[in-house]
Structure 1
Amino acid sequence: MTLVSVVIPTRNRHQFLSETVASVQEQTFLDWELIIVDEASNDETPVYLRSLSDPRIRFTRHAYAQGVAAARNTGLAQAGGELVMFLDDDDLLRSDALDTLRRALADYPDALAASAACRLFRETGDSDRVYRPARAYSRRIWREVLFGWWSNSGQNLYRTAVIRDIGGFDTALRAGEDRMLWLEIARRGNVCLVPTVAMEYRQHPGQFTQSSDWEAERQLIWQRFIHSLPPSLHAEGVAIRRAAALTADAEAARAAGHFYTGARLQCAAFVAAPRLLVSPLVARPMYWNFKKCVQRRRTP
């Protein structure tokens, strides 16, 4: 049976962390190890970690907070499993998450990673299942990731050797290091997309710690990735980012009640990156936005 390593970086989230760890312990797939990397927490986290008696769980502590990328890399260095997951300390795994993702990678041996669906729980108590196609498949998705498609850490299971070959997470990035990793994975090979919900993503106060120059960091990531593509794909990479910007502008125009402008901008996005029109990941949201613009425009 394949050992799965789960890495949880944490800092000052004792209450959430204990629930996250419990969700790992409740997995139907039993051959896992859990590595918790404590980023110099000064709440009850150290006491809680010392109280854990499950032999499958071990923890290490950074003397000072080095950032989530460094914490994940520390866990990656200690991981003994053929497969690895990087789970955030405030998210919850469904009980069959590891088994579902592990089976997907067994069914699709060409895939470098498997990514399942998640359910988003808002602070208001409402929840939504984030869109995923209705069937599992394996394909190259670098265009979708470059466009802005996203999958949170606990939805994903990676082949450990691939992450190590990439070099883990880029600690030079102050934000978006997981997005950069996804781009590298998606460029190298196939990713298996699974429709089953594997993780519950919880929104809460103090959750987001993005730096003030997050947008500049994102733009740097996009540019780095595009420049790393073969020269024959540079123009397409630039066009995909233009389509993403046009789609964002179209959504903003629709939200402001400017439906004609929204429809026009979304059409321009279609023209900029036509290959995305057949993508099972991003085509549907793009079409949905265009449809809403047209319907509202025609409403008397």
Structure 2
Amino acid sequence: MSSQPEVGVVIPSHNRRALLARTLRGVLAQRDVALQVVVVDDGSADDTSDYVTGLGDARVTLVRHEVPRGVSAARNSGIERCFAPWVAFSDDDDVWSPVKLRAQLDALAAHGRARWATTGSVRVYGEDLRILFGEPVPRTSEVADVLLKNNIIPGGASSVLASTELVREVGGFDTRMSNLADWDMWIRLGLRSPLAVVPRPLVGYYTHVGSMAGNVDSALQDLGVIREKHRSAIAARGVEPSLENLLWYLSALQLRAGRRVGAARVLLRLVPLGRPAVHAFRNAAVGLVWPGLQRYRDRRDERALSPEWRCEAEAWLTAFRFRRACSDVTNHRSP
């Protein structure tokens, strides 16, 4: 029997076989852990299931939903099949450093009381996984109050490792939500346990036009569910989820997707909030008339990234880029 710590990894996927293949390379390359990977094919119409079963890797289990049930239900199906004491989550388009899981387990052991952990991340974009900016870890391990206001966990679900028992104790992911289901889960974990942090960029959070996070109406509906669901904790702690911060985030996603009118409409929803109205009007107007606004922001964010953070992320991202370059060469050879 392996003496390495056992970690389950749950990866929901829907019609993104090519991206899933890249994600799995990073997951299966994890060092110094015993892996149980559960890929949940949530009703894909492509060859996702055939690809996963064709891997022939005993560490990988396929769960198939014949009809799409949504990302929360898919994650829950994966959790049900996870028999390891620890479970990590990865979206099907993100990438990991090979030391990601081991670093989190070490941080949990050093903390002593924490039952979940996160790492820092970098936002990456395009087929070459160009780094846009860094996302640091929370500055405190006592995150319950902060999480009730904002989702401060970097890298989406892909940065979190948690006690499987704890995830089941809090009831898994809420199937009423899609865009903000991970935030709701982190709130519940934070109310039960402190957080262990790894202040290193060990996750590449992939940003692209097809990102589910760009669905504005769905995100706002999810925010309402979070507010109602955690009403008692919000009242007791005197904090509540920030609509303002969510709208700024959603407007940035719209702008990145080239939807300048959509970005302006999101920003104008800030007007009834009062204080940010002038700032919102100005940014909405600039976004409408200046197509290069997002490129300007990207360059600004790239310059703000610390050399140390960039160097560590670039070092392990190179393996994914090299694999892509080799694949391109092979595909262009004459038969």
Q: TM-score, normalised by structure 2?
A: 0.68
Look up the match of 2:167: 163
2:92 partner letter: D
Q: Structure 1 regions of 5+ residues with no counterpart?
A: 258-287, 289-300
> SS of the residue aligned with 1:115?
strand
Is 1:208 aligned to 2:234, yes or no? no
> SS of the residue aligned with 1:111?
coil
Question: In 2, Cα distance between the equivalents of 1:40 and 1:154?
Answer: 21
Is 1:253 aligned to 2:279, yes or no? yes
Question: 8 Å contact 2:119–2:199 — kept in the other structure?
Answer: yes
Q: Structure 2 regions of 5+ residues with no counterpart?
A: 249-269, 284-303, 305-335
Q: CA offset at residue 128 of structure 1?
A: 3.6
Q: CA offset at residue 112 of structure 1?
A: 2.1
Q: Deviations over 1:192-224 (max 9, x none)?
A: 122111111112232226545224324314422
Counterpart of 2:82 (choices 79, 82, 99) is 79
Q: C-alpha root-mean-square deviation of aligned residues, in Å?
A: 2.9
Look up the match of 2:5: 2
> SS of the residue aligned with 1:140?
coil
Is 1:105 aligned to 2:108, yes or no? yes
> SS of the residue aligned with 2:8?
strand
Q: TM-score, normalised by structure 1?
A: 0.75
Question: In 1, Cα distance between the equivalents of 2:232 and 2:182?
Answer: 17
Q: CA offset at residue 156 of structure 1?
A: 1.0
Question: 8 Å contact 2:52–2:62 — kept in the other structure?
Answer: yes
Question: 8 Å contact 1:111–1:138 — kept in the other structure?
Answer: no
Question: 8 Å contact 1:108–1:138 — kept in the other structure?
Answer: no
Question: 8 Å contact 2:122–2:135 — kept in the other structure?
Answer: no
Is 1:52 aligned to 2:78, yes or no? no
Question: In 2, Cα distance between the equivalents of 1:22 and 1:95?
Answer: 10
Look up the match of 1:284: none
Is 1:176 aligned to 2:180, yes or no? yes
Is 1:121 aligned to 2:147, yes or no? no
Counterpart of 2:94 (choices 88, 91, 94) is 91
Seen in structure 2, the aligned counterparts of structure 1 residues 164 and 254 have a Cα distance that, compared at 3 Å, is same
Identity of aligned pairs, percent? Answer: 24
Seen in structure 2, the aligned counterparts of structure 1 residues 86 and 196 have a Cα distance that, compared at 3 Å, is same
Q: CA offset at residue 86 of structure 1?
A: 1.2
Aligned length: 254
Q: CA offset at residue 243 of structure 1?
A: 8.2
